[in-house]
Amino acid sequence: MFAGLAALGVERVVVMPERVGLARMAAEDVGDKMAVAYADMLPAWESGDSTAAARIMAESGVSCLITLGGDGTNRVVARGCGSVPIVAISTGTNNVFPQMVEGTIAGLAAGAVATGIAPIDEVCLRSKRLDLYIDGKPDELALVDVAVSREMFTGARAIWDLSTVHEVFLTRADPSSIGISSIGARLKPLELDEPAGIYFKIGDRNSRHKVLAPVGPGSVAQVPIAEWSMMAPGDRRPIGLRPGTVALDGEREISLLPDRKVEVALSLDGPVVVQIDRAMACLARHGTIRR
């Protein structure tokens, strides 16, 4: 990534503090071409660090962010990045939001956006999000899915057992993805920038409607569907299950308590996402690579 950024004349890169020194080692190869500095923050070594780092970087005027992780990582980054475009590289567990891309290409795409070679309005899309409301007040967000589970504890974060899932809200339904999003894709494929969402409720063995979906690595299942419908922007729907938990982009975060009113709404105001193929096409048209 650093090589791609340096090749396009990016002068400064800000990195989130990390324990193993990967950025420091990578910077040795480009130290004479651009400055690499760590964000001025005191890390707590938890997911909130990503939100804090994204906010610090956005406020300092960075032109583009690069994330390495899955849907959950990008969710916490989205809480702090504002309107700064994101090049999201898939390295996590749930990988619907980020893209599978080689690092050098990702660096070139980010560099093209950061230097203005690739105009944001040409190579970026505004993604959607799901807003979680508790007792009428906005509390959390998800970029891909909100899954309501019958499990009562948030400690075991990721949802792996589909039999515990009660209902699902989706912003995206990619037929080539794996996990909960792939179930929605069998009902209605849904693109990143399509102004709609999908809701479905898991049925039982007596359900008439079933879909065949890759629900996990090495696992393809017949998933019974009790009901499903499309969601419109601003559509706010209550979660009635009690007790249980709510998983945001694959990680259980919210306990469903009897005295809590919990709702999910679809918003079109998600983070700005760099479409890497568009950025690279723009770069090629500009002639920078040929020179």
Instruction: Indicate if 9 and 96 belong to the same structural domain.
Output: yes
Q: Can you point out the beta strands (E) in 70-119?
A: 86-90
CATH number of 215's domain: 2.60.200
The verdict on residue 233 lying in a domain is yes
Give yes or no: residues 52 and 108 share one domain. yes
- Among candidates 46, 47, 65, which has minimal Cα distance to 56? 65
Q: 79 and 38: one domain?
A: yes
Residues 110 and 172 in one domain: no
Q: In this structure, are 133 and 263 located in the same domain?
A: yes
Q: What is the mean pLDDT of each run of 10 residues along the chain (291 residues)?
A: 94 92 86 90 93 97 96 95 97 85 97 96 97 96 95 63 90 90 95 95 93 90 96 96 91 87 97 97 81 45
Give the whole-angstrom CA distance, residue 236 versus residue 232: 9
The verdict on 109 and 205 lying in the same domain is no
Q: Do 92 and 143 sit in the same domain of this protein?
A: no
pLDDT of residue 160: 61
69 is a domain residue: yes
Q: What is the rounded distance in angstroms from the CA atom of residue 117 to the CA atom of residue 237?
A: 42
Could you tell me if residue 75 is inside a domain?
yes
Q: Residue 36 CA to chain centroid, in angstroms?
A: 25
- Is residue 183, in this structure, part of any structural domain at all? yes
The pLDDT value recorded for residue 235 is 95
Nearest to 86 by CA among 281, 270, 290, 266: 270
Domain span at 276: 2-127+271-286
Residue 45 belongs to a domain: yes
Task: Give a yes or no: residue 291 inside a domain.
Answer: no
Q: Do both 138 and 73 map to the same domain?
A: no
Q: Are residues 166 and 38 in the same domain?
A: no
Q: What is the pLDDT at residue 253?
A: 80
Domain assignment of residue 73, yes or no: yes
Co-location of 121 and 216 in the same domain: no
Whether 95 and 138 share a structural domain: no
Question: Domain total for the chain?
Answer: 2
Q: How far apart are alpha carbons 54 and 81 in whole angstroms?
A: 5
Residue 94 is part of a domain; what is its CATH number? 3.40.50
Q: According to the model, what pLDDT value does residue 101 have? A: 95
Statement to judge: residues 99 and 142 lie in one domain: no
> What is the maximal distance between C-alpha atoms in the chain?
66
